[in-house]
Each structure stands twice: as structure tokens, then as C-alpha cells.
Amino acid sequence: MRTQVGIVGAGPAGLLLSHLLARQGVSSVILETRSRDEIESTIRAGVLEQGTVDLLTEAGLADRMRREGHVHHGIELRFEGQGHRVDLSGLTGGRAITVYAQHEVIKDLVKARLDAGGRILFEAKDVRLSGLDERTPRISFLHEGRAQTIDCDFIAGCDGFHGVSRASIPAALKVEYERKYDFGWFGILVEAPPSSKELIYASHDRGFALVSTRSETIQRLYFQCDPKDDVANWPDERIWEELDLRLSTEDGWRVKRGRIFQKGIIAMRSFVVEPLQYGRLFLAGDAAHIVPPTGAKGLNLAAADVKVLARAFEEHYTRGRSDLLESYSATVLKRIWRSEHFSWWMTSMLHRFPDGDPIQRRFQLAELRNVAASEAAARLLAENYVGLPMA
Ligand code: FAD
Ligand code: DHB
């Protein structure tokens, strides 16, 4: 096979890139190790920034999201038994977030790509990249029991944190920055009506908790836990007791209970590789960077990367300009580090540090009270949370 841009990974980054390239007449093939069923049912993110929604809308990929997603104009910060609303739209000139599950975005992107005749090869095994610093890089893999290759002009590494793309860059030509956290998130899906009209980010002496939503009948809740804990240690009753302890307010608010039908634990890290390019390989999304989920930035950063990358490929193919490809890494790193910092800041402000210095909790409460009381502080949070403009 031969294509202009070989895309490794059918996550939000790879799928969206393929769409944006097709609109400019640039050909691509997507290779994905998992099955279509699996990528369409893995539960992950839920919050889309205004810029991500705008990008999906411009690309004609937002019909179902507009019908079924929920636009939120504020969030609540909850601490010391009280809620404090951050008016996202009022503080950002009308910008907002949309709550729409990542696997729904994936379903929409896969369907639209296949309907348009796009090529996505699912369940590709043993994917390897070669010739990355030559004119025609190659992707080799096993598909339907046969060894195959795709010769490309360029390869987009959109294969997430554990993929092959970043690993294909020689160690001497990259720097990896990483911070691990001593805590993770326990996430559940519940059959219940919404407990709140807006998301609640709660900081409690026992740890962080988050109330999010999926629909009128399904809710998404998270609470801070030990990343090495086992879901088997958390029968439903223990989960509800813990959520009540962390979320209840002085005025009697309680989270609405229901049947829990999904449980999972996620670890947290901050991670960036520099640069995001090696020869004809360009990294985008989680392949290049990870944020702790507290700022809801991961999927949105992936979208911002591929917007810049798609435009750089377009300029290369339509005008023969290579400067945008050459500056891709430096361009996206500015936004990446801004989001990394914001995600670290939200995480530090809201979580319990298990072996932390007792002064830490005092600093956190002082910061939370400041965001609740100062319009300038709240605006800083709001601008970053709804998402800074995409390049
Ligand atoms: P991925 O989604 O990881 O996709 C990579 C794809 O590549 C996968 O399908 C994988 O199977 C495939 N792949 C891997 N290796 C290979 C290979 N060798 N060959 C071919 N294919 C390969 N972000 C937000 O913005 N907002 C949120 O609210 C939010 N909440 C989150 C909640 C949870 C519980 C989790 C886990 C994450 C959350 N995130 C959130 C982060 C977000 O899910 C990721 O940042 C996003 O999925 C990144 O997209 P991606 O396309 O770069 O990578
Ligand atoms: C969700 C995930 C997040 O990481 C976050 O900050 C807010 C909401 C969610 O899955 O709904």
C-alpha cells in the first residue's frame, strides 16, 4: 500500500487528523491495534473545550454531538462544605464546554471516515516504523494474518502513551519530562438522574471527588484513590459512603445514587516528550504528552495538535511550503506546556497529598478561597478550563 500520511492509532488524534487531511485532498490510512468495538466502547474523557467543539463543527462532524451533548456554562468548586460557582461563560466572553463522552466522539469520527471511503485498518498487529529519517518511511504490520507494508511521505504517530511511535525516536534525540502522582482516580458510571446541573470539583480532607454527567439517566463520578488499589476492594456501598463524605454540603446536598455498572482506576502523570518530530515522523496527542485528568485537557490537547499538523501538511502539499512542518513541534509545545501547567495546578489545588506536609492543605484552602473570592483568579481558571484559543 501507499499513502501520503500514514496514521498510527485510531484515537481522537488519529481519526480527526485523517478527516482534516481528507478535506484538503491529502490521502491517509489509519492503522489501529484494537477492534472497532473496543475503541468505540472504552470509557474515557467527557469534556470538550469550545475550540474542540468548533473544530468538529467546522469539519462537519458535530451533528450528533450538538443534539446529544450538553453545553455547560459554569462549574462548581466545593470545599469546606460549601459550593462556589465559577461562571465560565461570564468570565470568558461567552465561551463554554460541552459534555459529550469520548467514545461517542470516536463512534462519530469512525462512522464519518468509513462513510466517506476512508481507510481504517483495525486489529493490525506487530506495527513497526522504519526509514523515518529517509524520504519514504514505511509502516510494517500484520493484518488478517498477512504481513503488509504502507509506504508513506510522512507518518503521524497518534498511538497514545504506550504506542510504538514515540519509542521509534532514538533516545539521544528526545528528552522526556515526567512527574508521577501518588494518587489516582476511581471512576464509576451510574444509572441515576443528574445530581447537579454543572460539574462539581470537590476538595475534601479525605481527598478529591468529581461529579460529572453523561445524560439524563447516566452519571459519571470520580474520587481520588490509591492508584494501586483494586476495584474489588470497593463494593458499591463503600463507594457511596466515600462520595457522601467528600461531597455532602452544609445545606444537605447529597449525591444521587443508582446502579453502578462500570468501575475503573486510572493512574495519573504529567509527561511531555520534546521535540514532537523525528525526520518524517510527527507525534500528536497522548503519544507525545499526558496530563492528569483534573483539567479535562487530554482529548482537547490532542485535537489542538492535529489542527496544527493538518494545516502544516496542507501547506506542504498545496504550496510546497515545509516551514510549518518544521515549526510544528515548537508551535504545539507552547500550548502543551500551558495545559500541562494548568492540569498540574488544578490537580495540586484539589487533591489530598497522601504523605504531604500539613502546610500543603493550608496552602490549598487559601488558593481555593482566593479563586472563589477573586474575579481575577476565577477568570484565570475559566480561561484555561474552556480552553485557550487554538493556534
Ligand atoms: P488515544 O485515545 O490513547 O488513542 C491512541 C490509539 O492508538 C488507541 O486506540 C490505541 O489502541 C492505538 N494504538 C496504540 N498502540 C498502537 C500501535 N502500536 N499501532 C497502532 N495503534 C496503536 N481528556 C479530556 O480532554 N477531557 C477529559 O474529560 C478527560 N477525561 C479522561 C478520563 C479518563 C478516565 C481518562 C483515562 C482519560 C481522560 N482524558 C480526558 C484524556 C483523553 O482520554 C486522552 O488524552 C485522549 O484519548 C488522547 O487521544 P489520542 O488519540 O492521543 O490517544
Ligand atoms: C470528566 C473527566 C475529567 O477528567 C474532568 O476533569 C471532568 C469530567 C468526565 O469524564 O466527565
Is 123 a residue whose pLDDT tops 80?
yes
Cell of 18: 485523517
Give tens-digit pLDDT for 244-270. Answer: 999 999 899 999 999 999 999 999 999
Is 355 a residue whose pLDDT tops 90?
no
Q: What is the mean pLDDT of residues 353-380?
A: 94
Measured in degrees and rounded to the nearest 5, phi and psi for residue 350 equal -105, -20
Catalytic residue, candidates 201, 222, 278, 328: 201
d(CA 59, CA 265): 34
Is 65 a residue whose pLDDT tops 90?
yes
Residues 6+ apart with CB under 8 A from 369: none
Q: What is the mean pLDDT of residues 277-282?
A: 98
| 385 tagged catalytic | yes
Residue of 56, 109, 299 to test ligand 1 pocket, by largest number of atoms within 8 Å of CB: 299
Is 163 a residue whose pLDDT tops 90?
yes
| 297 tagged catalytic | yes
For residue 323, what pLDDT is reported? 98
Measured from the CB, is residue 293 less than 6 Å from ligand 2? yes
For residue 390, what pLDDT is reported? 83
Is 354 a residue whose pLDDT tops 90?
no
**What is the reported pTM?**
0.97
Percent of the chain with pLDDT over 90: 96
Catalytic residue, candidates 12, 137, 292, 293: 293
Proximal ligand: closest to the CA of 199: 2
Residue given cell 446529544 in the structure block: 68
Residue of 32, 185, 308 to test ligand 1 pocket, by largest number of atoms within 8 Å of CB: 32
With vertex at residue 253, the alpha carbon angle to CA 248 and CA 259, rounded to the nearest 5 degrees, is 85
Q: What is the distance in A from the centroid of ligand 1 to the CA of 286?
A: 6
Q: Calculate the average pLDDT of the chain.
A: 97
Q: What is the distance in A from the centroid of ligand 1 to the CA of 70?
A: 22
- Ordered by where they begin, the domains of the chain are 2-72+96-180+269-352 (3.50.50.60), 184-266 (3.30.9.10)
| 84 tagged catalytic | no
Give tens-digit pLDDT for 203-229. Answer: 999 999 999 999 999 999 999 999 999
For residue 356, what pLDDT is reported? 74
End-to-end CA distance of the chain: 33
Cell of 73: 456554562
Measured from the CB, is residue 316 less than 6 Å from ligand 2? no
Residue given cell 454531538 in the structure block: 65
Measured from the CB, is residue 187 less than 6 Å from ligand 2? no
Q: What is the mean pLDDT of residues 105-133?
A: 98
For residue 92, what pLDDT is reported? 97
Is 391 a residue whose pLDDT tops 90?
no
For residue 357, what pLDDT is reported? 83
* DSSP secondary structure letters along 7-29: EE--SHHHHHHHHHHHHTT--EE
Give tens-digit pLDDT for 293-319. Answer: 999 999 999 999 999 999 999 999 999
